[in-house]
Every structure is written in C-alpha cells, then in structure tokens.
Amino acid sequence: MGVGEGKSIGEWFGPNTVAQVLKKLALFDEWNSLAVYVSMDNTVVIEDIKKMCCVLPVGADTADESPPASLTASNQCKGPSTMCPAWKPLLLIVPLRLGINQINPVYIEAFKECFKMPQSLGALGGKPNNAYYFIGFLGKKGWIASCHVEIYSIRPICADGCAACLFSTGLGGDP
C-alpha cells in the first residue's frame, strides 16, 4: 500500500501517508466493515460521509444505486432507516499541522480537549523518523505510545508533566 503513496518498504510514513494508506486498506479489504474518511484541507463533507457509511441492501446494484439523496443531517442522525437500512462505523481522520518544530502553544488546550471525546482514537504526530501516537492526557501529562519500539506499558512523556515539554522537539527524553 505504501508504494501507491510513493513510499518504499522500510521508509518512514508520515501521519498523512498513514491516513491515506488506512483509507486504501479499508477499501480493499472485503471483510472490512469500517468506513475511513480522510478530510482534505481540514474540511469534512457530510454528504460524502453519508455515502460512505450507508450500507445498501445485498441485492442493490452498487454501480447504479447510491444512498438516497433525501438523507439529511437531521434524519441521518437517527441511524438506520428505510432509506438506508444500515450504517458502517466511521473512522474520521483530520490531518493537521499544529506547528513547525513543535506544537504552537495556542493549540495545546484544544488538542487536550479532543481526548475527552469518548470516540477519540488519539493522534499521530511528531517529525520525520520520530513519530508518536498520542493516546491521552492525565492532568498536564501527555501519554504516548511509541511507533518505534515494542512497549508493554505506557508512561508520561516527562516527569514534571509541563505542557511545554510534552511537545518540545525532544519530547522530554527517550519514550
């Protein structure tokens, strides 16, 4: 899958490349029941998501049939209906750049708020060849899983838990 994104085997995949590969994997896996939507330019198009998530009846000709145009924001929130009998779960990926060498402090509180949503799966970020999967916050401490090493437990990024060191270039030491 990485070859389609211009990446060779063993080459580092940045967060956007990971998002595009996940989207392709979801499309090509016939057993998959997950819709993956990658927002472009920080824009989420609700109509596109409805089309991706609507599961057509087994007898539907997928080349000719698409989800009914009458699906609106108000009735789509009610879940499956006669117009769209079932919905696929959605993985919504919003690629963002929150800073150049480190996160802009303006974004830290909003970033932390994202982890309060029960639907949040975390955030992937970092710099080339040094990415981290952010899985949450506890107070001022950020929690990460390193994409580079196998670990059996998680720990705070830095001992004092200050927001500045959470996103410093060195991320407060060896993860």
Q: Are residues 6 and 82 in the same domain?
A: yes
Q: Give residue 32's pLDDT.
A: 83
* Residue 97, Cβ density class (10 Å: 0-12 exposed, 13-18 middle, ≥19 buried): exposed
Q: Where are the alpha helices (DSSP H) in the chain?
A: 15-28, 46-53, 73-76, 108-114, 163-166
| Domain final residue pick, 93, 116, 150 | 93
Q: Give residue 148's pLDDT.
A: 61
| Domain final residue pick, 71, 93, 115 | 93
The single-letter DSSP state of residue 27 is H
Is the pLDDT assigned to residue 16 strictly greater than 60?
Answer: yes
Nearest partner of 89 among 116, 54, 39, 139, judged by Cα: 54
Mean pLDDT of the region 80-95? 79
Q: Give residue 92's pLDDT.
A: 93
Mean pLDDT of the region 162-174? 39
Q: Is residue 173 part of a domain?
A: no
| Domain final residue pick, 35, 67, 93 | 93
Rounded mean pLDDT of the chain?
A: 73
Q: Which of 54-58, 69-73, 109-113 has the lowest mean pLDDT?
A: 69-73
Q: Is residue 175 part of a domain?
A: no
Q: Give residue 3's pLDDT.
A: 74
* Percent of the residues in the chain that have a pLDDT greater than 90, as a whole number: 12
Q: Are residues 10 and 84 in the same domain?
A: yes
Handedness of CA 21, 24, 26, 30 (dihedral sign): negative
* pLDDT single digits (tens) 20-70: 888 998 888 878 889 999 998 889 999 999 998 998 766 555 444 444 455
Interatomic CA distance for residues 118 and 120, integer angstroms: 6
Question: 118 vs 127, which has greater pLDDT?
Answer: 118
Interatomic CA distance for residues 82 and 55, integer angstroms: 11
Interatomic CA distance for residues 85 and 67, integer angstroms: 10
The pTM of this model reads 0.65
Q: Are residues 22 and 80 in the same domain?
A: yes
Is the pLDDT assigned to residue 151 strictly greater than 60?
Answer: no
Count the neighbouring beta carbons within 10 Å of the beta carbon of residue 102: 16
Is the pLDDT assigned to residue 91 strictly greater than 90?
Answer: yes
Question: 144 vs 92, which has greater pLDDT?
Answer: 92
Q: Are residues 11 and 58 in the same domain?
A: yes
Q: Give residue 143's pLDDT.
A: 83
Is the pLDDT assigned to residue 10 strictly greater than 90?
Answer: no
CA 35 vs. chain centroid, Å, equals: 12
Q: Is residue 41 part of a domain?
A: yes
Nearest partner of 138 among 100, 166, 96, judged by Cα: 166
